[in-house]
Amino acid sequence: MNTPLLTVVVPCYNEEEVLQETMKQLLMLLETLVNEDLIHEDSKLLFVDDGSKDKTWSIIFKASIYHEKIKGLKLSRNVGHQNALLAGLSTAKRFADCVVSIDADLQDDIYVIRDFIEKFHEGYDVVYGVRDNRESDTLFKRSTAQAFYKLMRKMGVDIVYNHADFRLMSRRALDELERFNEVNIFLRGIIPLIGFKSTSVLYKRKERMAGESKYPLRKMLSFAFDGITSFSTKPIRFVLLLGSLSFFASVCFGLYFLFLKYFGTTVSGWTSLITSIWLIGGLQLIAIGLVGEYIGKIYKETKGRPKYSIDIDLLNLPLSNHLLSIGDDEGDFASLNLANHRIK
C-alpha cells in the first residue's frame, strides 16, 4: 500500500500563547511518521485561524513561509470551533488521503496519531480519539460533560462517549461529510451518521499547555443545546407528553369539582382557578418556545447561507502578495526549521 498523505487540521482561536509550541511538536511528529514510512513525505499541517483577535494569524502566516509543511487558512470572522473545523476539513480533503483534526492547545495526546494512522492502514475510514478519563478536567467540566453525554443518549443521538473532535477521517468519509448540508453543524453527531467503518483509540487528555479555554459556560451550554436540537425531536415529544398529562389531570380535576358541586361543599374556587391559569400559561410558553426553536432551525436551513467565508487561502495565493500586509516582529520561527524544509 502506498503511504497515505496526511493533513493535520488545527482550528485556532486566539491561540498565540500555544501556537508555536504546537507547531513544533506536530512537525516533529510528522517527521517521525514520515521516517517510519507510515505517511507520505508531503504530509502537512493546516492551521485554521477562526477570526482571532490576537497574533494567531501572523504566527501561522510566517510559519508557513519558513516551513513548507505548514499551511494556513484564515476565516473572515469567528465562526466557532465546529465551523472552523469544517472549513479546515473541506480544504484539507483536496490534498490528503486522510485528515486528523486536533485542538491547538495540545490537550490531546499527539502520539496517538500514530495509532490513528495504523488503523487507517487497517482500512478504517473514521478513527475516534476517546479519552480514558477526565482527571485533567475541573469537577464542574467533568460533571457537566458527563451529564451532556447522558442526555444526548437519552435523546437518541448517537455520539461516541468522551470523544471530542480529535479524530482521523479518510477522504472518502470527508466526501460524505460534505453531503450534509445543514447549517447547525454538530460534527460529533454527524460523523457517526456517515456509517463507514470506524474504531476508537483510547488516550489520556492533558491540561491546556497555555492560554485559557475558549469554551466558557455560555458557549458550552449553547453547544449542548445546539447538539440536542439539531439532532433530536424528543424534546417536542416530551412537550406533547406533558400536554397530554396536563389534559388528563385537568379532566380528573373537572370531575372532582363536579363531584364537590353536587355532593360536597362548593368553595369559592379562586385558588384552583388562579393556579391552573398559571400552570397552563407556563406549559404553553414552554411548548411555544420549543416549537420556536425548531422553526428557527428550519428557517436557517432554508436560507442555505454559507457556513464560512475564507478570507485568505495560502494554498491558492502566491505568498508574495501577502508578505506586505504582515509585520515581522513576532515569533521565533527559526526553531521550526527542523530539517531541510525551508521554502526554496
Interface positions with ligand UDP (CB under 6 A): 11-13, 15, 50, 78, 80-81, 84, 103-105, 107, 213-215
Choose between 97 and 105: whose C-beta lies nearer to ligand UDP: 105
Cα 119 to chain centroid distance, Å, stands at: 22
The least distance separating ligand UDP from the CB of residue 12, rounded to whole angstroms, comes to 5
Choose between 49 and 103: whose C-beta lies nearer to Mg ion: 103
For 140-195, give the secondary structure using H, E and C. Answer: HHHHHHHHHHHHHHHCCCCCCCCCCCCEEEEHHHHHHHHCCCCCCCCHHHHHHHHC
Pull the grid cell for residue 249.
389531570
Choose between 13 and 120: whose C-beta lies nearer to Mg ion: 13
Select the binding partner of residue 215 from Mg ion, ligand UDP, none (C-beta < 5 to 8 A, by kind): ligand UDP
The least distance separating ligand UDP from the CB of residue 105, rounded to whole angstroms, comes to 4
Looking only at Cα atoms, what is the longest distance across the chain? 99
The least distance separating ligand UDP from the CB of residue 78, rounded to whole angstroms, comes to 5
* Cα Rg of the chain (Å, integer): 26
Select the binding partner of residue 12 from Mg ion, ligand UDP, none (C-beta < 5 to 8 A, by kind): ligand UDP
Choose between 71 and 214: whose C-beta lies nearer to Mg ion: 214
Choose between 84 and 127: whose C-beta lies nearer to ligand UDP: 84
User: Is 96 in contact with 5 (CB distance < 8 Å)?
Assistant: yes
Choose between 161 and 215: whose C-beta lies nearer to ligand UDP: 215
Window 103-162: residues binding Mg ion (CB under 5 A):
103, 105, 107
Alpha carbons 160 and 187: distance in angstroms, whole number: 11
Select the binding partner of residue 78 from ligand UDP, Mg ion, none (C-beta < 5 to 8 A, by kind): ligand UDP
Q: Which distant-in-sequence residues (6+ apart) come within 8 Å of 240 by Cβ?
A: none
Q: Across the beta sheet with 310-313, what order do the strands follow?
A: 198-203, 126-131, 167-170, 98-101, 6-12, 44-49, 70-75, 310-313
Choose between 80 and 331: whose C-beta lies nearer to ligand UDP: 80
- Which strand (E) or helix (H) includes residue 45? strand 44-49
Residue type at 286? I
Alpha carbons 61 and 188: distance in angstroms, whole number: 29
The least distance separating Mg ion from the CB of residue 256, rounded to whole angstroms, comes to 56
Query: E strands of 190-323, at which residues?
Result: 198-203, 310-313
The least distance separating Mg ion from the CB of residue 108, rounded to whole angstroms, comes to 8
Binding mask 70-109 for Mg ion (x = CB under 5 A): ---------------------------------x-x-x--
Select the binding partner of residue 108 from ligand UDP, Mg ion, none (C-beta < 5 to 8 A, by kind): none
Query: Given the rule CB under 5 A, which residues bind Mg ion?
Result: 103, 105, 107
